[in-house]
Amino acid sequence: MEPTRPLPCLLLLLCLPSCPGEGAQAGQDFKVQQPQDTVSVTAGQTLNLTCIVSERGPLGPVKWLKGWGSGNETVYEQTGSFPRVTRAVAESSTDFSIHLRDVQPEDAGTYYCVKFSKSLTGGDVVFRRGKGTEVSVHAKPTPPVVSGPGRRAGPGTSVSFTCTAGGFFPKDIGVKWFKDEALISAQPPQVTPGRTESSYDMSSTVTVTLQESDVRSRLACEVQHPTLTAPLRGGYQLSKALRVSPSVRVVAEPSSPVVLNKTVNFTCHVTGFYPGDVAVTWLENGTELKVESIPRPVETPRGLFELRSLVEVQATEEKAGAVFTCRVVHDGQDPISGTAVLRVAAPGGGTQSDQSQPGSLDVIYVVVGVVCTVLALLVAAILYLIRAKQSKGKSSPSARLHEPEKSSEAATQESDPNHLTYADLNFAKEQQTLRRMVEMSQQSEYACIQSSRPPASDDGNLTYADLDMVHLSKAPRRPAPRPEEPGSEYASVQIPRK
C-alpha cells in the first residue's frame, strides 16, 4: 500500500504549473460581440437585442444594461424576474440574445451586453462589455383631441380651436384642418419635447369665423406621422361654440282695440335661437304673471329652435292700456323682451287704451303752438310799424287815400265832386272835440279812420301819413258813425260810387 501514495502528489505537481497559464490565456481571448449598432422599433412591438460571448471565461454572470455609468438600469440578468424579457436561446452559455416585449417610447436608449467576474470579496465586477446598441422607438402619436373656447360666441365672431397629440417619435409630424371636409388654412404646428426623453408633443391652432349655419358644421384635425399607415383624426362640433340669440315678438289676438270684457290672447313668438335652453316670463305693467306652463322649444329643419308662449287676458276697463311684456333669457345672456298694449274699445266706439298714437297728439300740439307764436309775432310787428309811422314827424295826423291808377277816361272824372278819389285830412293836435265831415250823396260811400290822442309832449306841428288804398269793399249805406269818446280823433272819407 505504501508505494501507491506519491501518485496524487505527483499529479498535483504536474497540474499546478499549467493552471495559471490557462486562466490568463482564457481571459485575454474572451470577447463580447454586440453586432447591432442601431435598432429602430415601433412602440408596442418586440425589441430583439443580440449578444454572443466566448465559451471560456471567468466565473461571473452576463447582464444587459440600459445606459452606462451611475444611471444605468439592469434590463436582464440570469437571476431574478424580468417579465418583459426572455432569452433567445435558453440555457446557452454563449448566446445571451434577448427579446424585450411591448416596447414603449421610454424604452429608447443605448443597451450594453456586459460580462462580469467575481472579485476576491465575492462581488461582481465588469470584465468585458459590448460596444452598445442604440435603440430608437418609433411611437405613434396619440389620437388628436380638438378643444374649443370656454364660452359660446355669436355669428360673425372669430373663435380659436386647438388640436393636440403627443407621445410620438420621430419629431416630424403634419397637421391639416377641415371644416365640413373642406380644407382650411392654419398655422404650422408647434412641436415640443414630450414626457419621455425620446417622445414629442404637438399643438396646432386654427381660427374660424362662426356663422348661423354652423349649427350643423363639424371641424376636424388630421394628423400625419411616419409611424401611421393612415392619418388620425379628431373632430369638434361647432354647435358647441355657437350661440344664436332669439327674436322675440308679441302678438295680440284679436287685434286691438277689443270689445270690453272679451278675452284677448297674447302670444310670444321666440324664434331662431340656439342652443335650446331658454326661460320665458310674462309681465303685466312690470309685475310678473303666473303662467301655468311654458312649452318646450321645437327644433327647426335648420337646426335652430323656436317657441310659442300664450297668455289669456280679459279686456276689462281696469286693464285698458296695460303693457304685457314677454321676457326671454337665453343661454344665461341679458334678457330680450317683446311688448304689446291692451287696447279696449270704449262704449261710444272710441278707445280706452293709451296706445292710440300719443306721439301724434304731441306733434299736433307743438305745430299749433308754433303757428300761434308766429301769428302773434306778425301782429306785434304790424302794430309796431303803424305806431312808428304815426309818431314820425311833428305834423298833425293826416290821411291820404289813393286808389290805383286809372285810365285817362277815369282821370277826367276826378274833377267831379261826386266822383272823389282823393282827400287830405289834417287834424289839429290838441283838438278835444270830434270833427265830422260827411258829404252825403246818393252815389258815395264812406270810410272811417280813428286815431288815439297823441302824447301831450308833442308840439303843434302836424303829422302826415299816406294810405294807398287799392280797394275798398262796398257795403250798403249806413248812417254816419256815432261820435266817439273825447279821447279819440276821427275822420270820415267819402269815396264816390263807381
* Per-residue pLDDT reduced to its tens digit, 102-147: 998 889 899 999 999 988 887 889 999 999 999 999 999 999 999 9
- Nearest 5 degrees, angle CA 79-CA 83-CA 86? 70
Q: Which of 245, 395, 254 is nearest to 315 (CA)?
A: 254
For the chain, give the mean pLDDT.
77
**Three-state DSSP class for residue 363:** helix
Give 31-66 pLDDT, tens digit per residue: 999 999 999 998 889 999 999 999 888 889 999 999
| pLDDT at residue number 368 | 75
| pLDDT at residue number 196 | 78
H or E element, residue 391: helix 358-391
User: Is 50 exceeded by the pLDDT of residue 402?
Assistant: no
Same fold? 24-138, 145-240: yes
pLDDT grade for 270, boundaries at 50, 70 and 90: very high
| pLDDT at residue number 392 | 61
| pLDDT at residue number 380 | 87
Would you identify the CATH topology of the domain 24-138? Immunoglobulin-like (2.60.40)
Residue pair 317/352 in contact by the 8 Å Cβ criterion: yes
Contacts of 390 (CB under 8 A, 6+ apart): 397, 451, 454, 463, 465
| pLDDT at residue number 302 | 93
Residue pair 282/288 in contact by the 8 Å Cβ criterion: yes
| pLDDT at residue number 352 | 54
317 vs 370: CA distance, rounded Å: 36
User: Is 90 exceeded by the pLDDT of residue 203?
Assistant: yes
How much is the pTM? 0.56
| pLDDT at residue number 198 | 80
Domain map (residue ranges) of the chain? 24-138, 145-240, 247-341, 357-386, 398-496
* Domain 247-341, CATH class in plain words: mainly beta
User: Is 80 exceeded by the pLDDT of residue 219?
Assistant: yes
Q: Can you say whether residue 318 is alpha, beta or left, with left for phi > 0 and alpha for psi between -120 and 50 degrees? A: alpha
Query: What is the CATH number assigned to the segment(s) 145-240?
Result: 2.60.40.10
Contacts of 136 (CB under 8 A, 6+ apart): 38, 39, 40, 41, 108, 169, 170, 198
Residue pair 466/438 in contact by the 8 Å Cβ criterion: no
| pLDDT at residue number 381 | 86
Percent of the chain with pLDDT over 90: 49
